[in-house]
Structure 1
Amino acid sequence: MSEPALPELDPVIHAQARLRVTVALAGLHRGDQITFPRLQQLLEMTAGNLSTHLRKLEDAEYVAITKSFEHRTPVTLVRLTARGRAAFEQYTATLHRLLDAGT
């Protein structure tokens, strides 16, 4: 009798940098946003690296990015979407199942 297949982790979230971004955004209250520079500082990532990973998360509709101006200064806000929060919750549940399968 073969053992059941192990569940797969979401490859969009699983990349280390995107996982760190998702964890940081999931720590915010639902609907809350964080500025791009604050997220960059929090994660200690370069602007280019963070932008690349945010684009991948945005393509999956896991994050929403809003660009606006405040006193003629550009402001970029990032938030986790409902779809992104659900994907992260599924990711953590799958990770728990994988860890439980190893014991």
Structure 2
Amino acid sequence: MTDLDPVIHAAARLRITATLASLEPGDRITFPRLQELLDMTAGNLSTHLRKLEEAEYVAVEKSHQGRTPVTFVTLTRRGRRAFEDYTDALRAVLGGEE
């Protein structure tokens, strides 16, 4: 049996990763926009992003636009590969392909 990546497998992190994977490679999204899309609290989203960041699946970049702080989130190459591997493993578990 194929193991599912426990970092991605948690429902909230799977939603985050799937959303980021829908962007073109290298594209990024602001934290508030991601929060809005996923309908998550800032604290909950931050906690799950930290776990994904520790695994090097996402990169979180904090900067400023003028005087306003802004946080961008992007899926790393490693994260994209992990998501692809996860979806392949899930298909295998469901009997779709190996």
TM-score by length of 2: 0.97
Q: Please point out which of 68, 73, 78 is paired with 2:68.
A: 73
Identity %: 68
- Structure 2: unaligned runs, 5 residues or longer: none
Runs of 4+ with deviation above 3 angstroms: none
Please provide the CA RMSD for this pair.
0.8
Bigger Cα Rg: 1
Give per-residue Cα distances to partners, 1:49-88, cap 9 Å, x unaligned.
Answer: 0000000000000000100000100000000000000000
Distance in 2 of aligned mates of 1:70 and 1:94: 40
Distance in 1 of aligned mates of 2:80 and 2:18: 10
Instruction: Tell me the equivalent position of 1:3.
Output: none
**Amino acid in the other structure paired with 1:70:** Q
**Amino acid in the other structure paired with 1:61:** E
Instruction: Report how many residues are paired.
Output: 96
Instruction: Tell me the equivalent position of 1:53.
Output: 48
- Structure 1: unaligned runs, 5 residues or longer: 1-5
